[in-house]
C-alpha cells in the first residue's frame, strides 16, 4: 500500500464521527482503492478497515466517514491507497501492508459548556509558474508554528477554520491565468501536500470556505465573457478538495455536484454558520445581494432560533469595518442586506454574535454598538493573511473608515471601534472560548504572540 499523494485531511468531526479526505492514484486496467483503519490511541487491535474505490474522474481522491467513535477520545489511524484486481469483500479478508505513518485526531467532547479553541486564518499565497511552485516553504512556514501551538495548548484545538483564498488560482492572472481543470487541480495538490500544512490537517479537524481567488480576483464583479468555463472548472476543483471533507460535502458520494457551499456545525453551546459570500452574489438587481435569499433566510432563522451561547458567523469578506477604497468587494457594497442582518440581531436581542472573516491582508478585532440599544453589541474577528505575496499590500488602520458610524438609521446609529491594533504582517488567530470571554490571540509566522484581546460574553 502507498502513502496518500495528498492528505489525509481530517474534516468535519463530531463526538461520534469524523470525515477523512485523501488522494491516491490509479493505474490502467486495474481498480485503485483508498483504505483507512483506526483505533483508540494506545490500543493494540485495529477497527475493521474501510475501503473505497478511486477514479480518475475524482482525481484519485476519496472521502471516508469513520462512524461509531467515542466522544472526547484520541484515535490513531493509518491511510493509504493501492491497486488490485480483487473486489472489496475479498480485500477485507486479505492481509495488507499499511504505510508506516501513524496519524492522530481527537473526537469532539460531548460536554456542552467545556472551553473550546480554534485556529482561524485565510489568504495563503503559493505562486506556481509553469506548474512548479515558487519557494513553497514560504507559504508553508506558518503551519509549522500552528502545529507547535496545537500540540502544546489547552484546551485542545477543536477546529482549524480556513476562511478563504486557500489557493490562488489567479496568482498570475495578469500574465497567464489558470483556467483549465488539470491546471487548477495541480495547484490544489501542491498547496495541500506541503509538509507542514499536511501535518496540521492530518490531525486537526479542518473547515474551509472559498473566496474570490479560488476562482478569480473580485469574482463575480470581474467576470468577463467566457468565464463560465473558468467558473465550472474552479468550483469543481473546490468541491473536490475543500468542500468534500466539510459538512456541505456528501461523504463517500464524492463527485456529486453540491447544492450549496454554506453550512453549519456545532461544538456544545458554540455554533458556527459558515456563509458562502462569493458564489451566490446578485449584482444585477436594484438591491445587490451578497447572500442569496435562501441563505439569508437560513442565517436569520439560525440567529433567532439557535439556543447556542456563542454564535460565530464566517463570511470570507469583511462584515465591518469598511475599507476606504472604492469600489468595494466586501459588505460595504451590500448595505441593505447587511442592515437586515444587524436589525435581526438587534430587534431579537441576540447575544454573543461574532463575525469571522479574512480577505484584507490585515488582522483585527472590533466592536459594533447601537446608539439607542445599550445591550446591543456585535464583534468581528479578522484574520489574514497566512502568507502574503510580495506583490500585495498589507492592510493598516488607515485602510478603514473608523471616524463615522457604520450605518445611520431612524432607529439609531451603528457605531464601531477597534478593539485591537491592525496587524500588517503574516499571522494567524488563536481563538479560545471559555465561560466568560472569547480570547483572541494573534501570532506571527514564527508563532510569536503579536497581540491579544478579549471579548466579554453576555
Question: For position 130, what pLDDT does the model report?
Answer: 61
pLDDT at 23 over 60: yes
- Give the cell for residue 60: 484519485
Here the cell at position 438 is: 472569547
Q: Can you give the pLDDT at residue 343?
A: 97
pLDDT band of 328, cuts 50, 70, 90: confident
User: Quick one: DSSP state of residue 239?
Assistant: I
Asked if 103 and 75 count as a contact pair (C-beta separation under 8 A), the reply is no
Say how far apart CA 266 and CA 259 lie, in whole Å: 21
% of the chain at pLDDT higher than 90: 81
Mean local confidence (pLDDT), 365-382: 97
Give pLDDT tens digits for 151-199. 999 999 999 999 999 999 886 555 566 788 999 999 999 999 999 999 9
Residue 421 has pLDDT above 90, yes or no: yes
**Nearest Cα residue to 167 out of 141, 139, 195:** 139
Q: What pLDDT, on a 0 to 100 scale, did the predictor assign at position 91?
A: 67
* Mean of pLDDT over the chain: 93
Across 246-255, 256-265, 279-288, 313-322, least confident range: 246-255
Task: Tell me what pLDDT residue 291 has.
Answer: 98
Is the pLDDT at 229 greater than 80, yes or no?
yes
Report whether 76 contacts 38 (CB < 8 A): yes
CA atoms within 13 A on the CB side of 138: 13
Model confidence band, residue 256 (pLDDT cutoffs 50, 70, 90): confident
Average pLDDT for 357-379: 97
Q: Helices 181-192 and 227-238: crossing angle, nearest 10°?
A: 30
Distance from C-alpha of 176 to C-alpha of 170, rounded to nearest angstrom: 8
Q: Of all helices (H) and strands (E), which one includes residue 197?
A: helix 195-201
* Biggest CA-to-CA distance, the chain: 73
Edge-to-edge, what's the strand order for the sheet holding 407-409? 263-267, 270-274, 310-314, 353-357, 373-382, 364-370, 412-418, 407-409
| pLDDT band, residue 251 (cuts 50/70/90) | confident
Strand partners, 51: 35
- Would the pLDDT of 342 be above 60? yes
Q: Is the pLDDT of residue 25 over 80?
A: yes
- Determine the pLDDT at residue 87: 64
Q: Is the pLDDT of residue 265 over 60?
A: yes
Please, are residues 211 and 317 in contact by the beta-carbon 8 Å criterion? yes
Domains of the chain (ranges; CATH) run 6-106 (2.60.40.10), 116-456 (3.60.21.70)
Burial of 297 (0-12, 13-18, 19+ CB in 10 A): exposed
Q: What pLDDT is stored for residue 128 in this prediction?
A: 67
Give the model's pLDDT for residue 170.
Answer: 82
The model's confidence at residue 96, banded by pLDDT at 50, 70 and 90, is: confident
Give yes or no for residue 105 having a pLDDT over 90.
yes
Amino acid at each position: 500500500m502507498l502513502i496518500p499523494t495528498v492528505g489525509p485531511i481530517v474534516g468535519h468531526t463530531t463526538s461520534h464521527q469524523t470525515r477523512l479526505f485523501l488522494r491516491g492514484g490509479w493505474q490502467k486496467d486495474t481498480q485503485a482503492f483508498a483504505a483507512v483503519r483506526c483505533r483508540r490511541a494506545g490500543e493494540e487491535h485495529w477497527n475493521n478497515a474501510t475501503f473505497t474505490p478511486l477514479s480518475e474522474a475524482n482525481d484519485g481522491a476519496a472521502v471516508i466517514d469513520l462512524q461509531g467513535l467515542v466522544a472526547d477520545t484520541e484515535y490513531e489511524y493509518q491511510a493509504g491507497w493501492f491497486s488490485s484486481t480483487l473486489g472489496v469483500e475479498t480485500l477485507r479478508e486479505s492481509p495488507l501492508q499499511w504505510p508506516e505513518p501513524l496519524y492522530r485526531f481527537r473526537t469532539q467532547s460531548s460536554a456542552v459548556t467545556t472551553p473550546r479553541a480554534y485556529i482561524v486564518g485565510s489568504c495563503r499565497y503559493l505562486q506556481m509558474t509553469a506548474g512548479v511552485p515558487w519557494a513553497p516553504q514560504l507559504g508553508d512556514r506558518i503551519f509549522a508554528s500552528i502545529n507547535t501551538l496545537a500540540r502544546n495548548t489547552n484546551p485542545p484545538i477543536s477546529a482549524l477554520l480556513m476562511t478563504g483564498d486557500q489557493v490562488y488560482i489567479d496568482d498570475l492572472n495578469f500574465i497567464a491565468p489558470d483556467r483549465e481543470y488539470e491546471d487548477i487541480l495541480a495547484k490544489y495538490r501542491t498547496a495541500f501536500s506541503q509538509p507542514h500544512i499536511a501535518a496540521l490537517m492530518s490531525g486537526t479537524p479542518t473547515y474551509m470556505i472559498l473566496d474570490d481567488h479560488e476562482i478569480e480576483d473580485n469574482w463575480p464583479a470581474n467576470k468577463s465573457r467566457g468565464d463560465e468555463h473558468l467558473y465550472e472548472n474552479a468550483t469543481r476543483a473546490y468541491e473536490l478538495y475543500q468542500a468534500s471533507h466539510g459538512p456541505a460535502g456528501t461523504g463517500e458520494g464524492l463527485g456529486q455536484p453540491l447544492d450549496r457551499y454554506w453550512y453549519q456545525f456545532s461544538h456544545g453551546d458554540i455554533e458556527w454558520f459558515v456563509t458562502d459570500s462569493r458564489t451566490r452574489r446578485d449584482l444585477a438587481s436594484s438591491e445587490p445581494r451578497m447572500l442569496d435569499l435562501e441563505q439569508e433566510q437560513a442565517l436569520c432563522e439560525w440567529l433567532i432560533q439557535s439556543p447556542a451561547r456563542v454564535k460565530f458567523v464566517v463570511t470570507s469578506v469583511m462584515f465591518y469595518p469598511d475599507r476606504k477604497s472604492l469600489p468595494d468587494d466586501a459588505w460595504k457594497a451590500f448595505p441593505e442586506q447587511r442592515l437586515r442582518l444587524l436589525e435581526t440581531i438587534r430587534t431579537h436581542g441576540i447575544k454573543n454574535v461574532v463575525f469571522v472573516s479574512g480577505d484584507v491582508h490585515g488582522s483585527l478585532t472590533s466592536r459594533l454598538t447601537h446608539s439607542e440599544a445599550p445591550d446591543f453589541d456585535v464583534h468581528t474577528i479578522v484574520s489574514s493573511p497566512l502568507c502574503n505575496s510580495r506583490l500585495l499590500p498589507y492592510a493598516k488602520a488607515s485602510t478603514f473608515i473608523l471616524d463615522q458610524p457604520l450605518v445611520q438609521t431612524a432607529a439609531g446609529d451603528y457605531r464601531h471601534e477597534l478593539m485591537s491594533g491592525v496587524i500588517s504582517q503574516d499571522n494567524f488567530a488563536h481563538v479560545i472560548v471559555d465561560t466568560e470571554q472569547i480570547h483572541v490571540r494573534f501570532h506571527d509566522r514564527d508563532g510569536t504572540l503579536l497581540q491579544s484581546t478579549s471579548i466579554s460574553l453576555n
